[in-house]
Amino acid sequence: MKKILSIILASLIFSGAAIFCLTGASSGKKDFIKYAEFNVTYPALEKAMNIDIDTYGEDIHINWIEVLAYLGAKYGGDFKRYSSKDMDDIINRLKAGEKIEAITGDMKYYNYYNQVYSAVLGGMLGEYNEYSGEGENITSEKKYGLKCCSPIAATFPFSDFDDFGASRSYGYKRQHMGHDMMCAVGTPIICVEDGTVECMGWNQYGGWRIGIRSNDKKRYYYYAHLRQNRPYHCDLKEGMTVHAGEVIGYAGRTGYSAKENVNNIETPHLHWGMELIFDESQKECDNEIWIDLYALTKLLQKHKSKTVRVAETKEYYSIFQKQ
């Protein structure tokens, strides 16, 4: 199905119809993106991220999103065509002083890919405080880099594979619009990015779940199948502000039941998803934009939140939450 959708999108883009299909500009409706995929591979993500970090603070700071958007426009979104040499070429041109606007001026769909990739990656890099040490000896150091965190806490094992789009049959036949991380019941679940808790509670498909909206409103994070009886961190409340690295809940196997607090998932795991929102009308509709998180999950392993357990309450906290 993913392959078919990719072929359709490529056909629309290169026929020029994407301007109408993706933005609604032809009918006088709101001008926003209505369909998007994110197929950037892990090697491309890692290489682009590293050059962004390495050039931060220099006279020419290379923006990883702009580099990836250039390649997206070059490949028509198909990163199976990705070549490290292609990235080296665009990086060298930028380092030589060429402007991205001049380089991409003749690329009809650069702006589209820049919008999509900015929506996905816009909160990933930036300045953040890195904490280290234990107990009374915890120190922090300001850094620039990957400030979002893995959804699984440091030292807790998990396994995964690229399961986006796989068939699901509970309730009705549908596709899997997220990424599953197999882990033990009780594994601390981490807030990936700063944002606001928009929903908590029971969903018959996701069991106990949490929905968190990024501060720029572009990303909606969905964490599902949380632990039976005590799914959430004790401090978590709907409407509160949360930060990347904080413990928000615990992995379990709840869901697949209209009755609350039921373990109907066979294998304990975290289902996490990212919905892109270019207009508020997309938040809950028949054409929501959920993306493949396999490559991003691998990238986020570079920044894991360290946690401590409070024996009296049996709650886990990230080390900076206890400051």
The DSSP code sequence of 180-203 is: EEE--TTPEEE--SSEEEEEEEEE
pLDDT of residue 171: 59
Q: What is the mean pLDDT of residues 295-307?
A: 96
- Residue 290 CA: distances (Å) to CA of 35, 52, 71, 123, 248: 10, 26, 21, 17, 21
Domain boundaries, the chain: 2-121, 149-318
- Residue 19 CA: distances (Å) to CA of 13, 24, 38, 88, 288: 8, 7, 18, 30, 19
| pLDDT one-digit tens code per residue, 21-61 | 344 444 446 789 999 999 999 999 999 999 999 999 999 99
Distance CA 173, CA 194 (A): 33
Q: What is the mean pLDDT of residues 53-75?
A: 98
Taking 80 as the threshold, does the pLDDT of residue 17 lie above it?
no
pLDDT of residue 12: 41
| pLDDT one-digit tens code per residue, 155-203 | 999 999 887 677 666 656 567 788 999 999 999 999 999 999 999 999 9
With CA atoms as reference, report the closest residue to 247 among 271, 215, 223, 265.
Answer: 223
Taking 60 as the threshold, does the pLDDT of residue 4 lie above it?
no
Taking 60 as the threshold, does the pLDDT of residue 13 lie above it?
no
pLDDT of residue 172: 63
Distance CA 240, CA 17 (A): 42
At a CB cut-off of 8 Å and minimum separation 6, what does 175 contact? 1, 165, 166, 167, 168
Distance CA 31, CA 314 (A): 49
pLDDT of residue 168: 65
Taking 90 as the threshold, does the pLDDT of residue 320 lie above it?
no
What one-character DSSP code corresponds to residue 312? T
pLDDT of residue 257: 95
> Between residues 15 and 242, which one has the greater pLDDT?
242
pLDDT of residue 292: 95
| pLDDT one-digit tens code per residue, 120-164 | 999 999 998 888 777 677 888 899 999 999 999 999 999 998 876
Q: What is the mean pLDDT of residues 223-230?
A: 98
pLDDT of residue 189: 98
Instruction: State the first-to-last Cα distance of the chain, in angstroms, to the nearest integer.
Output: 47
What CATH superfamily is the domain 149-318?
Glucose Permease (Domain IIA) (2.70.70.10)
pLDDT band at 19 (very low <50, low <70, confident <90, very high): very low
pLDDT band at 82 (very low <50, low <70, confident <90, very high): very high
**Percentage of residues in the chain having pLDDT higher than 90:** 77
